[in-house]
């Protein structure tokens, strides 16, 4: 559908979070804030080897401690079933093995036992006194995957990229390997579960981004009827993908609650989060590009390998954006996984495209330099007219506008391409780099309802969850917009599997998905109220044609009159003896359903300025201009926050973050916030974020798409490109470190 901009009252207005006051006054209940009567504490024991077998577990000392109820391990844990195979998201886990399934340890920190006690202190003490004997073998946590020459599986192919690359002249092609280390989500809120079983019903308070999936998996693994499992996630201290699929801590907590008949609280330590709750895998990518002397791409080859856990097969789909990003006749994308003694990787903000674009957008910069072209110009001439990967038109693509706007704001035309040639007023060397961003724009099935109560309440109900991004507020905005009432009239209920099933919080798809469902629910509720007004015996509008009535500012009124002249809807419901009138809404998904008719993505461009002081080998990001093409922005305040947050995460990805697996022990050795370095406030300069609001109404009537991930895509590449411009050092192995830059001749 063509782009059109509709006037809205509340949609598109910068809006404070409706749950903000709850959060800043400490009233928002997160999972670990739940304290149930009679609750026990569970503390897992993590393996201190990464590869081998458990020989024996001596729990005598631990069990003898006061307040300890038991130590559970393979020998005495209750029945845990496997999750049925499933291609979609309904039963998805990244670590499919039920905890304590066998005596094999396949990664460091794998849970081998769990202590249960009356207090957290007693359980922690007991866990530390469980003595586990191992038969240890050398773990394999090696990187440099291409050195092993693994068999690559072709993911996507058009034309003959190998031939085109071979035939290209050396001056017009590049071949490089890019790597990125394991990156950990490590959300501030630790992964945790409070599980309560009453003999029939299991209630699970969980740190999850997908209450529905969590319910299905737990029901399956515990052998319970899915109707008897309820999952609650009211607030999340962020997830970034690390809380999408159930992890072993939750299975253990629920099993113990089922078998001990008392509520169980299990909150992972920070270390256990690093060990057992997923990460973006370590990745190696090989990029081969060739072009005509004028810069037209003649071939792209993108091969990528990520590490995966021994029993699981997580694939980081790095080539996702490569398929459609540029115009190129010959493209070949292939992948492999490298089995390692690591906990399973999982989706992390922008899985696939984020590491993928780090490699391809770095490579494009290298090609531009080789061809002596401006990197923006190289992108402009390779702009595709359609999605050449799927041979379908783009629904909405404004990447070049992103570059144009960004270049203007940044002052790109003043760039001297010569390495180390630019300085600021403080005498620091400047480096300017740019890169593009792309991320899918899709919808997943969603249901919602809107309830108008005789007490004057207006409730939006949806079984999705707010992972800290502002979903509560967005749903309130949609309902307020559609019902033509002020925002503060709306109450939003999320995060409970007894609500109408809503989308999981992944893939930046919640907002786009819930809009049609909530719109429909709100419109239906309003219509039903009008129809009640027109038909109920006690109604002042009894007998009036429904079409002549309207619902506005919470008043039912004749269209011919001002809203003020009408009757408040709650009064009307009371008079007519309705307790509550409910409108329901539902929308189907677009994701994963075969070849689409149009290619739907969001886009963006980053411009990054770094400063370089060779005397001290000090590199800092000094200025960022980011332009995002993600459709209509429903709440610019929350929207900007998402992009800024992504940029800060991107700074971490580019300059600081990297999980280090101890080569002999296989342990993620920097498994805490002091040793896992990420950006802090002082690292973050002013961030200039612009949204180009081309509202494409394909996905929903507002023309909104997701914005949770797009801002991270391409940022690391833009930084690497800027660093090269400043220092002459091309860093292909993230993060960029002092030791890399010390080789600079600038």
Partner 1 sequence: MKLFAYSKQNELQGAVADTASARTAQQGADIRYIAGGTTLIDLMKLNVETPDKLVDITGLPLDKIETTSDGGLCIGAMVRNSDLASHPYVQSHYPVLSQAILSGASAQLRNKATTGGNLLQKTRCVYYRDTAFACNKREPGSGCAAIDGDHRNLAILGTSEHCIASNPSDMNVALMALEAQIVIEGKDGKRIVPIADFYTLPGDTPHIETVLVPGDLITHVIVQGLAPGARSLYLKLRDRASYEFAVSSAAVIVEMHGDTINDARFAMGGIGTKPWRVAEAEQIIKGKRGGADGQATFKAAAARLLQGARPLKENSFKVELAKRCLVHALTTVSS
The one among 149, 385, 616, 745 contacting partner 1 by CB under 8 A: 616
Nearer to partner 1, 6 or 738 (CB): 738
Nearer to partner 1, 381 or 669 (CB): 669
Q: Which stretch binds partner 1 (CB under 8 A): 55-63, 393-401, 568-576, 611-619?
A: 611-619
User: What is the crossing angle of helices 715-727 and 353-371, to 10°?
Assistant: 30
Contact status: 738 vs partner 1 (CB under 8 A): yes
Q: Which stretch binds partner 1 (CB under 8 A): 13-21, 70-78, 450-458, 661-669?
A: 661-669
The one among 29, 386, 660, 730 contacting partner 1 by CB under 8 A: 660
Contact status: 664 vs partner 1 (CB under 8 A): yes
What distance in Å separates the CA atoms of residue 250 and residue 218, rounded to the nearest whole number?
A: 8
Site residues for partner 1, 39-68, by CB under 8 A, read 48
Give the strand pairing for 555-558 and 567-568. Answer: antiparallel
The one among 336, 679, 713, 722 contacting partner 1 by CB under 8 A: 679
Closest contact distance (angstroms) between CB of 682 and partner 1 is: 4
What distance in Å separates the CA atoms of residue 575 and residue 570, rounded to the nearest whole number?
A: 9
Closest contact distance (angstroms) between CB of 105 and partner 1 is: 13
DSSP 192-254: EEEEEE-SS-EEEEE--S-HHHHHHHHHHHHT--GGGEEEE-S--S--TTTTSS--HHHHHHH
Give the strand pairing for 458-461 and 490-493. Answer: parallel
Q: Which stretch binds partner 1 (CB under 8 A): 17-25, 440-448, 674-682, 726-734?
A: 674-682
What lies within 8 Å, CB to CB, of 339 at 6+ separation is 140, 307, 308, 309, 310
Q: Per-residue x/- marks for partner 1, 636-655, CB under 8 A? A: -------------------x
Q: What is the dihedral of CA 470, 473, 478, 482, to 10 degrees?
A: 180
Closest contact distance (angstroms) between CB of 683 and partner 1 is: 5
Q: Which stretch binds partner 1 (CB under 8 A): 3-11, 53-61, 220-228, 667-675?
A: 667-675
Enter the tokens of residue 89: 């998201």
Nearer to partner 1, 43 or 435 (CB): 43
| Binding-site size, partner 1 (CB under 8 A) | 34
Nearer to partner 1, 368 or 679 (CB): 679
The one among 311, 536, 567, 677 contacting partner 1 by CB under 8 A: 677
Nearer to partner 1, 94 or 657 (CB): 657
Closest contact distance (angstroms) between CB of 585 and partner 1 is: 46
Contact status: 681 vs partner 1 (CB under 8 A): yes
Maximum Cα–Cα distance for the chain, whole Å? 87
The one among 159, 544, 589, 656 contacting partner 1 by CB under 8 A: 656
What is the rounded radius of gyration, in angstroms, for the C-alpha atoms of the chain? 28
Q: Is 709 a catalytic residue?
A: yes
The one among 683, 701, 728, 746 contacting partner 1 by CB under 8 A: 683
Enter the tokens of residue 206: 């969980």
Question: Around Cβ 55, how many Cβ atoms within 10 Å?
Answer: 11
Nearer to partner 1, 59 or 320 (CB): 59
SS3 (DSSP) at 569: helix
Q: Is there a contact between 603 and 717 (Cβ–Cβ < 8 Å)?
A: no
Nearer to partner 1, 109 or 500 (CB): 109
| Dihedral over Cα of 347, 350, 355, 356: its sign | positive
Contact status: 270 vs partner 1 (CB under 8 A): no
Q: Which stretch binds partner 1 (CB under 8 A): 16-24, 250-258, 381-389, 680-688?
A: 680-688
* Residue 644, H or E segment: helix 636-651
Nearer to partner 1, 170 or 682 (CB): 682
Contact status: 564 vs partner 1 (CB under 8 A): no
Closest contact distance (angstroms) between CB of 59 and partner 1 is: 16
The one among 667, 695, 713, 729 contacting partner 1 by CB under 8 A: 667
Closest contact distance (angstroms) between CB of 117 and partner 1 is: 12
Closest contact distance (angstroms) between CB of 128 and partner 1 is: 6
Q: Which stretch binds partner 1 (CB under 8 A): 358-366, 558-566, 581-589, 731-739?
A: 731-739
Nearest to 2 by CA among 395, 456, 533: 395
Contact status: 615 vs partner 1 (CB under 8 A): yes
User: What is the crossing angle of helices 471-483 and 510-535, to 10°?
Assistant: 30
**Segments of 74-191 assigned E as strands:** 104-105, 111-117, 131-136, 153-158, 173-180
Nearer to partner 1, 50 or 504 (CB): 50
What distance in Å separates the CA atoms of residue 289 and residue 302, rounded to the nearest whole number?
A: 9
Give, in degrees to the nearest 5, the angle at Cα 343 between 342 and 346: 120
Nearer to partner 1, 48 or 405 (CB): 48
What lies within 8 Å, CB to CB, of 356 at 6+ separation is 285, 302, 304, 317, 318, 319, 320, 321, 322
Q: Which stretch binds partner 1 (CB under 8 A): 84-92, 136-144, 252-260, 678-686?
A: 678-686
Q: Which stretch binds partner 1 (CB under 8 A): 16-24, 459-467, 533-541, 737-745?
A: 737-745
What lies within 8 Å, CB to CB, of 475 at 6+ separation is 448, 460, 462, 490, 492, 494, 514, 518
Contact status: 385 vs partner 1 (CB under 8 A): no
Site residues for partner 1, 112-151, by CB under 8 A, read 121, 124-125, 128
Q: Is 165 left (phi over 0), alpha (psi -120 to 50) or beta?
A: alpha
Nearest to 191 by CA among 147, 101, 106, 252: 252
Q: Per-residue x/- marks for partner 1, 1-40, CB under 8 A? A: ----------------------------------------
Nearer to partner 1, 43 or 289 (CB): 43
Q: What is the DSSP letter of 191?
A: P
Q: 316, 451, 482, 709: which one is catalytic?
A: 709
Nearer to partner 1, 181 or 351 (CB): 181
Contact status: 674 vs partner 1 (CB under 8 A): yes
DSSP 371-419: HT--HHHHHHHT--SSBTTTTB-BSS--HHHHHHHHHHHHTGGG---ST
Question: Around Cβ 521, how many Cβ atoms within 10 Å?
Answer: 29
* Residue 359, H or E segment: helix 353-371
Nearest to 241 by CA among 355, 161, 139: 355
Closest contact distance (angstroms) between CB of 200 and partner 1 is: 36
Closest contact distance (angstroms) between CB of 231 and partner 1 is: 31
Burial bucket for residue 489 (CB in 10 Å: 0-12, 13-18, 19+): middle
Contact status: 337 vs partner 1 (CB under 8 A): no
**Cis peptide bond upstream of 290, omega within 30:** no
Nearer to partner 1, 556 or 665 (CB): 665
Q: Which parts of this chain interact with partner 1 (CB under 8 A)? A: 48, 121, 124-125, 128, 614-618, 620, 655-656, 660, 662-665, 667, 669-670, 674-675, 677-683, 737-739, 742
Catalytic residue numbers read 709
């Amino acid at each position: 559908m063509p782009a059109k901009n509709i006037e809205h009252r509340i949609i598109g207005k910068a809006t404070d979070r409706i749950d903000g006051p709850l959060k800043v006054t400490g009233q928002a209940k997160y999972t670990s804030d739940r304290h149930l009567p009679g609750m026990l504490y569970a503390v897992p024991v993590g393996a201190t080897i990464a590869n081998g077998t458990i020989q024996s577990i001596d729990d005598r000392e631990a069990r003898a401690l006061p307040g300890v109820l038991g130590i559970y391990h393979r020998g005495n844990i209750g029945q845990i079933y496997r999750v049925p195979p499933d291609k979609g998201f309904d039963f998805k886990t990244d670590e499919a093995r039920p905890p304590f399934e066998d005596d094999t340890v396949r990664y460091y920190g794998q849970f081998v036992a769990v202590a249960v006690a009356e207090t957290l202190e007693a359980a922690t003490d007991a866990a530390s006194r469980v003595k586990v004997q191992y038969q240890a073998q050398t773990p394999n946590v090696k990187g440099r995957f291409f050195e092993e020459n693994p068999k690559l599986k072709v993911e996507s192919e058009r034309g003959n990229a190998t031939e085109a690359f071979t035939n290209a002249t050396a001056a017009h092609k590049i071949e490089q390997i890019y790597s990125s280390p394991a990156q950990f989500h490590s959300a501030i809120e630790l992964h945790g579960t409070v599980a309560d079983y009453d003999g029939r019903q299991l209630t699970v308070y969980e740190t999850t981004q997908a209450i529905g999936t969590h319910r299905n998996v737990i029901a399956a693994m515990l052998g319970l009827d899915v109707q008897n499992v309820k999952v609650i996630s009211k607030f999340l201290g962020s997830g970034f993908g690390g809380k999408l699929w159930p992890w072993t801590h939750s299975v253990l907590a629920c099993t113990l609650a089922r078998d001990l008949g008392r509520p169980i609280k299990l909150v992972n330590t920070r270390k256990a989060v690093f060990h057992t709750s997923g990460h973006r895998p370590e990745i190696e990518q090989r990029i081969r590009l060739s072009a005509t002397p004028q810069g037209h791409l003649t071939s792209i080859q993108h091969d990528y390998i990520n590490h995966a856990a021994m029993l699981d097969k997580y694939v980081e789909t790095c080539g996702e954006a490569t398929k459609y990003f540029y115009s190129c006749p010959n493209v070949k994308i292939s992948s492999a996984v490298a089995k390692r003694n690591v906990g399973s990787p999982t989706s992390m903000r922008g899985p696939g495209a984020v590491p993928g674009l780090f490699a391809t957008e770095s490579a494009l910069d290298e090609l531009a330099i080789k061809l002596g072209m401006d990197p923006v110009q190289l992108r402009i001439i390779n702009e595709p007219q359609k999605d050449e990967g799927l041979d379908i038109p783009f629904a909405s693509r404004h990447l070049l506008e992103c570059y144009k706007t960004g270049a203007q704001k940044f002052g790109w035309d003043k760039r001297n391409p010569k390495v180390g040639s630019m300085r600021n007023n403080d005498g620091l060397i400047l480096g300017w780099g740019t890169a593009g961003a792309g991320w899918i724009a899709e919808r997943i099935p969603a249901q919602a309802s809107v309830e108008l109560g005789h007490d004057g309440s207006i409730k939006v109900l949806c079984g999705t969850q707010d992972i800290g991004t502002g979903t509560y507020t967005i749903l309130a905005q949609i309902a307020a917009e559609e019902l033509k009432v002020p925002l503060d009239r709306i109450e939003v209920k999320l995060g409970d599997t007894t609500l109408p099933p809503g989308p999981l919080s992944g893939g930046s798809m919640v907002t786009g998905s819930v809009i049609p469902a909530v719109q429909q629910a709100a419109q239906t509720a309003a219509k039903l109220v009008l129809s009640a007004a027109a038909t109920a015996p006690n109604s002042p509008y009894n007998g009036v044609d429904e079409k002549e009535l309207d619902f506005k500012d919470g008043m039912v009124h004749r269209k011919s009159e001002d809203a003020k002249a009408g009757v408040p809807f709650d009064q009307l419901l009371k008079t007519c003896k309705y307790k509550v009138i409910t409108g329901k809404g539902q929308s189907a998904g677009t994701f994963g359903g075969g070849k689409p008719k149009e290619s739907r993505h969001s886009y963006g461009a980053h411009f990054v300025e770094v400063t370089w002081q060779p005397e001290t080998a000090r590199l800092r990001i000094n200025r960022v201009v980011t332009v995002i093409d993600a459709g209509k922005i429903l709440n610019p305040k929350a929207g900007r926050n998402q992009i800024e947050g992504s940029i800060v995460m991107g700074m971490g990805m580019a300059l600081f973050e990297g999980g280090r697996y101890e080569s002999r022990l296989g342990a993620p050795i920097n498994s805490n916030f002091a040793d896992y370095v990420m950006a802090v406030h002082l690292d973050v300069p002013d961030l200039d974020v612009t949204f180009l609001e081309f509202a494409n109404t394909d996905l929903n009537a507002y023309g909104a798409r997701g914005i949770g991930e797009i801002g991270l895509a391409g940022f690391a590449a833009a930084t690497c490109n800027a660093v090269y411009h400043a220092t002459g050092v091309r860093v292909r192995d993230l993060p960029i470190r002092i030791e890399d830059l010390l080789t600079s001749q600038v």
